[in-house]
Structure formats: C-alpha cells, structure tokens
Structure 1
Amino acid sequence: MPNPKALFCPTCRKVVLATDPDFPFCSDRCRILDLGKWASGGYVISSPVHDPDLLDELEGLQHRGQSSTNEDGDR
C-alpha cells in the first residue's frame, strides 16, 4: 500500500495527509479562514483574461448592468 500524499495546509503550513477529512486544510478553522480571505478580496487572480470571446461577454454584461440604473442610481 503506497503512502498517502501529503501537502502543507495553505493557511497554517502544517503537514496534511490526503486521507485527512479536511484535506487540503488541516482543520475546518483553516478552511474558513481561507474562504474569508477569498470573500474579503485578500486573494485575487492576477493573470488577465486573454480570451477575446470571454472579454466581449464580460464587457456586454458590464454595459447592461450600467444601463439598468438611471442617473440617481435607481432601477
């Protein structure tokens, strides 16, 4: 039987085995702290979007969102 894969918890850097119930985190606390960083904007995806079709779609959604409010910001 091969040894289970081990990684470091992304939050506290403690060693975690792939068989642990909270993998890849060492605990539910570290999982929630990580989620909080994503929710608060602490983590960002830094690479720009290069897919022209996706960029067009995102720009279209942005323009539609702006046009659905009047000058006072009311819908």
Structure 2
Amino acid sequence: MSSVDHEATPVESRGAGDGRRTGTETCCELLCAILLPPLGVFVRYGCGFEFWICLLLTFLGYIPGVIYAACVLL
C-alpha cells in the first residue's frame, strides 16, 4: 500500500475574488436587513461597530434600523 499525500488546495473566497459582492449575496443580506436589520449587517460585518449601531437604531425604532442597514449594505 502506498500512501498518497493529499495537499489541501486553497479555496477561493466567495464572491468575485476581488472583494466585490455578488448580486445574490447582496440580495440575501438586504432581505435579512428588511426582516431583522441587525442580522443583515451581522452577516456582512460580524459583531463590529456597524452591527452595534444598527442594533441600537433598531431598538429605538424599526424603520431607522432598516434605513441604516440598507445604507450600510449598499
């Protein structure tokens, strides 16, 4: 029996490879942002500054959270 070395091939990052988002990713993020604004921002930025601002605005009022999330995602 011979052992075969399986080298891990690098996996391309999702999207266009140059940092741009595809239309489907942006559409899904916007849908999440409309239903639950902090979720849409979290999907793209994680638990960063944008997420916490969006969460605060959503607590203050749903519409300001949706507007902020849409602006940040677009």
Q: TM-score, normalised by structure 2?
A: 0.28
- Higher strand proportion: 1
Larger radius of gyration: 1
TM-score (norm. length: structure 1): 0.28
Q: Which has the higher helix share?
A: 2
